[in-house]
Structure 1
Amino acid sequence: MLNRNHEEGHKHLYRDYFADYCVYGAKDFKRRFRLNRDVFLRIANALESRYEFFQLRYDARGRRGFTTLQKCVATIRLMAMGESPDAMDDYMRMYERIARESLYTLSKGVVETFGDVYLWKPSLHDLQELYVAHEERHGFPGMIGSIDCIHWKWKNCPVAWKGQFASGHHGSPSLTKGACKDVEHAFGVLKAKWHIVEHAARPLDLETLRYIMYACIIMHNMIVEDKGRNIAHCIPTEPRHVQFQPGIAEYLHRVVDIQDANKHRQLREDLADYIFYGNNNDNE
């Protein structure tokens, strides 16, 4: 059995990136792990306080386990570089099994801890801010909520999703043109920053992959916020008094009405009644 010396691995990692006079500075950390050290420490501290898995523990023989820094750095490195979990052995002194478990637990922990803040659905106030910001940068307010009925064949659609994206008049999975652009842009950004999305996702089960994708999105939003480039801010306890520009308020309310499940069901039933009964009601 190999003596990996977990404690020496932690000391090596701490001297390289987290000591007062560390070997590699903040720029090196950001280049290698895709996020600032402050954002990383925020994530690591939150997970350590919430999950026993990220707390330092000892086995039955009294041997020290892996620290929070070792598990979190190994996971972020897997996500950023798309490396195999076995690659964590030489530097982190970490078993492949622990690296895989860290990847799943961190991804799930990030979603559960930060999902309410960084995955919340935009409100009317947020959409208004997005319109204003887009108009300032590009000269026109954008096309949020637009409907595009042009369908594009989705050749690389995951097998588990084919039933959701295949309709009766399309023999294969397809996306609308607008959705296609959204998917290409979103996955393009994620693949550029988090290489696990592109290289190392095939061996993962669907649940793990879902948590990894959401975790990548959340950390991307945290990075954007850290840079001061976020447009909307999540303040759940603060009441929002919105002053819309002329014409935009009515449009945004129509968008919300379209997405309302009850109104959608009522419109569908009314349409079915009209088709079935025709104009008979008009003669009554």
Structure 2
Amino acid sequence: MPSEAFQQWVDNIEKINLETEMELTRLKYEGDSQIERLKYEREAQNERVLLENRKVSMKQNKINLELFKVLASKDYLTEEEENLKSHLVKKDLETYFPHNSENVIIKLSMAENRPYATGRLGASTLLKCTAAIRLLAYATSADLVDDYLKISGSLARDSLQHFVEGVVAEFGDEYLRRPNETDLTRLLYAGEERGIPGMMGSIDCMHWRWKNCPLQFKGLYSGRAGKPTLILKAIASYDLWIWHAFFGTPSRCNDINVLDRSPIFNDVFEGRAPPVSYVINGHQYDMGYYLIDGIYPQWAAFIPTISLPLNEKESLFAQKQESKRKDVERAFGVLQARFAIIGQPALARDKYMLGKIMFTCIIIHNMITV
């Protein structure tokens, strides 16, 4: 039997160890709380700085707009005023191409600046790009651009056509690409952080009414609303980047018919898709999936919600699935807010032109999202 003194010594050691462990736990908790508080303060400070910068930028843009209106109202400009006008137009272009404004100006030289009969040079490439962007962003008629840029409606329409063709040709491969291995790793990590491991995005359709649809196509493109409509099927991720866009299907088709026509899984069938690997409940999977609504077929690549959950576990899954599936709806909303031409009935009569406009808006949307 151990002596009383030895037992007391053991009890004191255990008490000291317990107190030490509690003190370490308290210090760790206080340290974690302090780290979280510092992170929160830093994020709040960054938000305040961004808000102030945004206010200054909006104020500067307003001043630039008023100055450009004054310059545009003058019939003759000095060399210094011409340079200032070109600089303001370039600033307007950088609003929509924050990372590629110089490439856009160089690659989208739609026509050489030829002189008029009077000897004055015609509209520059900057003016034509600005006219095209204003038509996309504000959905105004081509004639209204004359008040801002002093160019005719026909030139504005031609500029829009050359602009969308140039953007799709030069930037489509980069900003309309399928996710590569690096992109998939980032998407899978983001899905795991949001509580849905293996998610690569959400998929849905958007309808764009075709107001000036040719008479011979109205029956084909008229859907449930009785109006000609074109369908855009897209895949969007948490950061609102649109990874897949398939446009031009008549509105008489439902989501399943559009899926059958789209090349969404061509890279998987042809063996070109990057490898995918993630773990759920101790099981490893090698195929990612997309979040959908209830109309799609029951494929392994599609995860629908549970419409009638019977227990708390199913309710939690349905809540997470339905909230994360809204990523593609948010992407559609932001796309229509940035480009009013998509939110209003399409005026062009050429389906090919409407497709170029839609893809151009998606490309610029992805440029801004970067």
- Relative to structure 1, the CA distance from residue 166 to residue 117 in structure 2 (aligned partners, 3 Å threshold; closer, same or farther) is closer
Say if 2:295 is the partner of 1:176. Answer: yes
Say if 2:103 is the partner of 1:42. Answer: yes
Q: Which residue of 2 aligns with 1:248?
A: none
More strand by share: 2
Q: Which residue of 2 aligns with 1:259?
A: none
Q: Which residue of 2 aligns with 1:221?
A: 366
Specify every segment of 5 or more residues in structure 1 that has no aligned partner in the other structure, as ranges.
Answer: 169-173, 226-284
Q: Describe how 1:1-284 pairs up with structure 2 within 5 A.
A: 8=77, 15=84, 18=87, 29=92, 34-35=95-96, 39-48=100-109, 53-59=110-116, 62-136=119-193, 138-141=194-197, 143-144=199-200, 158=229, 161-162=250-251, 164-165=253-254, 176=295, 184-199=329-344, 201-225=346-370
Give me the identity figure in percent.
35
Shift of 1:113: 0.6
Specify every segment of 5 or more residues in structure 2 that has no aligned partner in the other structure, as ranges.
Answer: 1-72, 205-222, 231-248, 258-292, 297-301, 305-324
> Deviations for 1:225-247, whole angstroms, at most 9, x for unmatched residues?
2xxxxxxxxxxxxxxxxxxxxxx
Shift of 1:57: 2.1
Question: Equivalents in 1 of 2:150, 2:143: separation in Å?
Answer: 10
Q: Which amino acid aligns with 1:135?
A: E
Give the conservation status (yes or no) of the 8 Å contact 2:202–2:328: no
Larger CA deviation: 94-103 vs 119-128: 119-128
Give the conservation status (yes or no) of the 8 Å contact 2:339–2:361: yes
Matched residue of 1:105: which SS? helix
Q: Which amino acid aligns with 1:95?
A: S
Q: Which amino acid aligns with 2:135?
A: L
Q: Which residue of 2 aligns with 1:239?
A: none
Shift of 1:73: 0.8
Structure number with greater Rg is 2
Moved over 6 A (4+): 4-7, 9-13, 145-148, 177-180
- Relative to structure 1, the CA distance from residue 133 to residue 63 in structure 2 (aligned partners, 3 Å threshold; closer, same or farther) is same
Question: Equivalents in 1 of 2:255, 2:326: separation in Å?
Answer: 18
Question: Equivalents in 1 of 2:200, 2:362: separation in Å?
Answer: 20
Question: Equivalents in 2 of 1:204, 1:184: separation in Å?
Answer: 27
Question: Equivalents in 2 of 1:13, 1:141: separation in Å?
Answer: 55
Q: TM-score, normalised by structure 2?
A: 0.44
Shift of 1:104: 1.1
Shift of 1:219: 1.0
Q: Which residue of 2 aligns with 1:254?
A: none
Matched residue of 2:197: which SS? coil
Question: Equivalents in 2 of 1:55, 1:200: separation in Å?
Answer: 33
**Which gives a bigger RCO, structure 1 or 2 (Cα 8 Å, sep 6+)?**
1
Shift of 1:134: 3.2
Shift of 1:192: 1.0
- Relative to structure 1, the CA distance from residue 188 to residue 123 in structure 2 (aligned partners, 3 Å threshold; closer, same or farther) is same
Q: Which amino acid aligns with 1:114?
A: F
Matched residue of 2:251: which SS? helix
